[in-house]
Amino acid sequence: MRDRETKRSKTDLYAQVLEVLIRYPEGGRITRISYGVGVPVDRLRNILEALSSYGLARKLAADEQTLYFATPRGLEFLDTYWKMKGFFEIFGDKQR
């Protein structure tokens, strides 16, 4: 997903965070998600807040730790995101 030559757009980042989140159905901790996505925790916290406010991710505070989950709407976003990327491939669009 990550092309080192191009900067990831906000949408790419959202998708990548959700791709990591769906790999933790038991809930992902922010440090581990940050290792997966490759962004620092403070920046990731903002992204997760944004995803939660859009209903794409869910935050759950339990047992002195905060866990993050992808929501069904988040899965829907991911599916649409990849399909759109597929169309860009067909159009030969350089947009990522």
Partner 1 sequence: MPNLHIPRGQTATLDRVEGELRVGNHATIQAINGKTVVVTQDAVFEGSAEVNGDFECDSLECHSGRLEVNGNLTVHKRLDVGHSIEATGTIKAQDIDVGGKIFAGAVNCIRIRVGGQAEIENTFEASSVDVGGKVSALGSVKLGDLQVGGEAEVGGGSILGSIRVGGKFSSKSRLEFGELLVYGRGFLPADCKGHRVSTYGKLEVDGKITCDFIEVGGVIEIHGDCYAQRVEVGGKFEVTGSLFSNRVEGYGAIEIGNFEGTTLRISGKLVANKIVVTEEADISGKIETKQGLKAKQLTVRSGSRYEGVLIGERVEVGKSSDLSYGGWGTNWATKWVTAGGMARVDDIYAKDVVIGPMCRVGRIFAETVKIEQGSAAEQVTYTSELKTDFGVAIGETPKKVDTLPKPPF
Could you list the residues that contact partner 1 (CB under 8 A)? 1-2, 15-16, 19-20, 22-24, 28, 31-33, 35-38, 78, 81-83, 85-90
Closest CA to 21 of 10, 35, 33, 9: 33
- In whole angstroms, the minimum distance from the beta carbon of 48 to partner 1 comes to 14
Residue corresponding to tokens 């669009």: 93
Question: Is the Cβ of residue 24 or residue 59 nearer to partner 1 in the bound state?
Answer: 24
Question: Is the Cβ of residue 32 or residue 43 nearer to partner 1 in the bound state?
Answer: 32
What distance in Å separates the CA atoms of residue 48 and residue 82, rounded to the nearest whole number? 20
29: which 2 tokens?
Answer: 């901790």
- In whole angstroms, the minimum distance from the beta carbon of 61 to partner 1 comes to 20
Question: Is the Cβ of residue 35 or residue 54 nearer to partner 1 in the bound state?
Answer: 35
What distance in Å separates the CA atoms of residue 55 and residue 27, rounded to the nearest whole number? 16
